[in-house]
Amino acid sequence: MNISDNDRPHKPSKRVPTMETNFNHADRLERLLQKDRFKTWGFVIYRCTYQSDPDWIRFMTRLLSHVTEYLEFYNGLDLLDGFAPTVFEDQSFDGATATLLRRHFKEWAATAPQVEQGNDRSRFPQSGRYRFFIMVDQEALESVLSISDPERRSETGFVRLVNGVWKPEELDEEELEELEISDPSELQIHEPLEGCALEDVGWMKVSYEDAEARAFLKIGDNVDWSLYYQRPPCIVTWI
């Protein structure tokens, strides 16, 4: 099929020449990795449920299959060579809160860039691999395994995407006055989630199909967490 000059991409993708390179997510992911000089990519995963090893294997199979499908659509399977969905498994993580895992993640992220990429973290402090992580508890695992047809798009299967550098919001006196609030506790107007009643609890539920590849590309180097954040129990399906 011939392509007219009007339809020909201005900057064609090297993977799909009929597509603009800016529309090819594999091209964009590759450029992101080149900018950060990364050898490996992907969010690390914390296993927080140990009721069934076979169920965990089934869950991981479903989760990772969508990474392959996503890259295959953009003819980007070559990027799987650097995909490293590191899984942290420890019985002490069973039923753990995001706060507890965040402590472990920060310790790991302090040295991981040098080990994995051969570079000090100060060269890419905003890199998504060392700012966010995936957390899978029993609720998340069951939400994925209960999907009757994993080949179809689901609006109920999710994992937790945790902001590893999140800190509770603190407003100064001037900001409190602007909101006509005298006591910071008045900001806590939501139902507590793991003890936090703020609007931003530092983690959100995201569609499991998007949790690795698409989310890594979308917020990998984006410092504006609030651009994508929705307070649980909402499941972010548009990331």
For 12-43, write each residue's pLDDT tens digit.
999 999 999 999 999 999 998 988 888 899 99
Domain assignment present for 181? no
**175: pLDDT strictly greater than 50:** no
**62: pLDDT strictly greater than 70:** yes
Domain assignment present for 13? no
Domain range enclosing 32 = 21-166+202-236
pLDDT digits (tens, 9 = 90+) for 179-210: 556 565 555 578 889 988 888 999 999 999 99
Domain assignment present for 176? no
Across 217-229, average pLDDT: 80
For the chain, how many structural domains are there in total? Answer: 1
Domain assignment present for 182? no
**70: pLDDT strictly greater than 80:** yes
**102: pLDDT strictly greater than 70:** yes
Domain assignment present for 111? yes
Across 120-140, average pLDDT: 85
Domain assignment present for 155? yes
Domain assignment present for 12? no
Predicted pLDDT of residue 135 = 99
**176: pLDDT strictly greater than 60:** no
Is pTM, for the whole model, over 0.95? no
Predicted pLDDT of residue 58 = 98
Domain assignment present for 4? no
pLDDT above 90 covers a percentage of the chain that reads 66
Predicted pLDDT of residue 35 = 85
Helix H, strand E, coil C: the string for the chain is: CCCCCCCCCCCECCCCCCCEHHHCHHHHHHHHHHHHCCCCECCEEEECCCCCHHHHHHHHHHHHHHHHHHHHHCCCHHHHHHECCCEEECHHHCCCCHHHHHHHHHHHHHHHHHHHHCCCHHHCCCCHHHCEEEEECHHHHHHHHCCCCCCCCCCCCEEEEEECCCCCCCCCHHHHHHCCCCCHHHHCCCCCECCECCCCCCEEEEECCCCCHHHHHHHCCCCCHHHCCCCCCCEECCC
